[in-house]
Amino acid sequence: MPPEQAPGIRKASRRSWLIWLTAATVYLLAVFHRTSLGVAGLQAADRFHVGAAALGTFTVLQVGVYAAMQIPTGVLVDRHGPRKILTVALVFLGLGQVLMAVATSYSLGLIARGVLGFGDALTFVSVLRLVALHFPGRQYAVVTSFTSAIGFVGNFAATVPLTLLLAGPGWVPTFLVTGLLTAAFAIFVSLRVRDTPAGRMVKPSRVDGRELARQVAGAWRVPGTRLGFWVHFATMFAPNTLTLLWGVPFLVQAQGLPTATASALLTVFVFGSLIGGPLIGSTISARPSWRMPLVCGYLGGAAGVWALLLAWPGTVPIAVLVPSFAFLSLGGPASMIGFALARDYNPLRRVGTATGVVNVGGFVATTITALAIGVLLQTFGGNFRIALLSVFAVLGFGTFRVLVWWRRARAEMFAAQARGEEIPFQVRRRSWDAPVPQTASA
């Protein structure tokens, strides 16, 4: 249970910061490509001649591939090192966006988003593995929050700037150039990124399927990993669903706003995350005991925000939308707490795998919600008020699972404390705490 430190690292070097910045730029590009359909959704519907349900399938496929690849990605990063995986990620990201640029049929568009989802899936876990290798454990949460903040710069580029590019040069030049530049960046990453501060590359190791299964199962059995999974599931899916696909259609079709205004409103998610990410990261780094109270506070507030938006009579004023989106934007930074939990409760050799397990959570929830919204829109004639009730259902389920595994993780900490083991931070027993550890899968 004690948090394992990166070997021999007391302070990150300038070289480690430059390597992290290069890797974080890969994540920036991945987020840009991931969210590009958020403002291009209406154009995609016209280009491929599809309705709401089929449009939702783009995101479902992309995010579904992403979610399915998280655990394999964690294993690959642990076995082959983050540099190689990031290089491969850039190639697939570029290829996916080039295919999207030239696609004129719905089937080729789906293939393009699937390829892009595969490349996207390889990025974040790789970057976090680099952070774990290059920075001391006490800096992990802060650097992770910085990584998330840089990713939201890519999210910003996929709002107003991308809208202007699509209205100017158009679909093909915009996606073609960004795809080619992304693939070219793979050369730079291959030359500049190093897996360890000493400059050594992780040597690939052969491992059989049974050992891989044991590694994943070992990470999943840890209550802290399971808690991280449900934290990620419950906090990030709602802002993700809006920025990836349904934000602009909701604002244009349900709220009657111009497309340019709608895309500008989505920048609230970007700036909220840019401010909230480092703030939450530095807070939980200094006060680890605040992690779960912050998560629960966000989940309660998010339920209130969605109740307000869906119960508002008529169209929602911009003066209400802006602070509502600003609060919801904190879901991305709050989801980073899940990775801090995985880092604290797993040995360093298994951090990549545990991080991959946690990262599945939010994207599974996003996949379910994006598909449900599309189907409900198709069924109820484009009624967003009904369609967005699916957000409430997923949020309620995720919150329940967070509470269950928070209680179980605390019980495990008390048990470790009783055995004389080191724990990440001291906790006080509450009346609602479980009397004994509960590690059964549920």
Q: What is the pLDDT of residues 42-92, one digit of tens each?
A: 788 888 888 877 887 887 888 888 888 877 887 788 788 899 999 999 999
- The amino acid at residue 63 is V
Average pLDDT, the chain: 84
Q: How many CA atoms lie within 13 A of 11 on its CB side?
A: 2
- Phi and psi (nearest 5°) for 229? -60, -50
pLDDT exceeding 90 applies to what percent of the chain?
38
Asked, for residue 429, whether it belongs to a domain, the answer is no
**pLDDT at residue 153 tops 50:** yes
Q: What is the pLDDT of residues 4-30, one digit of tens each?
A: 445 555 677 888 899 999 999 999 999
Asked, for residue 222, whether it belongs to a domain, the answer is yes
Q: Torsion-angle region of residue 246: left (phi > 0), alpha (psi -120 to 50) or beta?
A: alpha
Dihedral sign, CA of 241, 310, 229, 442? negative
| Exposed / middle / buried, residue 420 (Cβ in 10 Å: 0-12, 13-18, 19+) | exposed
**pLDDT-based confidence at residue 181 (cuts at 50, 70, 90):** very high
Asked, for residue 143, whether it belongs to a domain, the answer is yes
236's tokens: 């990030």
> How many domains, in total, are found in the chain?
1
Asked, for residue 388, whether it belongs to a domain, the answer is yes
User: How far is the C-alpha of 50 from the C-alpha of 46, rounded, in Å?
Assistant: 7
Please give the span between the terminal C-alpha atoms of the chain, in angstroms, as a whole number: 21
Asked, for residue 432, whether it belongs to a domain, the answer is no
Secondary structure of the chain as H, E, C letters: CCCCCCCCCCCCCHHHHHHHHHHHHHHHHHHHHHHHHHHHHHHHHHHHCCCHHHHHHHHHHHHHHHHHHHHHHHHHHHHHCHHHHHHHHHHHHHHHHHHHHHCCCHHHHHHHHHHHHHHHHCCHHHHHHHHHHHCCHHHHHHHHHHHHHHHHHHHHHCCHHHHHHHHCCCHHHHHHHHHHHHHHHHHHHHHHCCCCCCCCCCCCCCCCHHHHHHHHHHHHHCHHHHHHHHHHHHHHHHHHHHHHHHHHHHHHHHCCCCHHHHHHHHHHHHHHHHHHHHHHHHHHHHCHHHHHHHHHHHHHHHHHHHHHHHHCCCCCCHHHHHHHHHHHCCHHHHHHHHHHHHHHHCCHHHHHHHHHHHHHHHHHHHHHHHHHHHHHHHHCCCCHHHHCHHHHHHHHHHHHHHHHHHHHHHHHHHHHHHCCCCCCCCCCCCCCCCCCCCCCCC
Q: What is the pLDDT of residues 184-214, one digit of tens each?
A: 999 999 998 988 887 655 555 555 667 777 8
Of the spans 277-286, 287-296, 419-428, which averages the highest pLDDT?
287-296
- The amino acid at residue 267 is T
**pLDDT-based confidence at residue 3 (cuts at 50, 70, 90):** very low
428's tokens: 């006080």
Asked, for residue 403, whether it belongs to a domain, the answer is yes
Q: What is the pLDDT of residues 310-332, one digit of tens each?
A: 999 989 999 999 999 999 999 98
The reported pLDDT for the residue numbered 442 is 43
Q: Torsion-angle region of residue 438: left (phi > 0), alpha (psi -120 to 50) or beta?
A: beta
Asked, for residue 313, whether it belongs to a domain, the answer is yes
Whole-prediction pTM: 0.75
**For range 270-293, the mean pLDDT:** 83
**pLDDT at residue 124 tops 90:** no
Its domain, for residue 363, covers 14-197+212-418
User: How far is the C-alpha of 162 from the C-alpha of 51, rounded, in Å?
Assistant: 22
**For range 101-118, the mean pLDDT:** 92
100's tokens: 């999207």
Asked, for residue 438, whether it belongs to a domain, the answer is no
Residue 405 maps to which CATH number? Answer: 1.20.1250.20
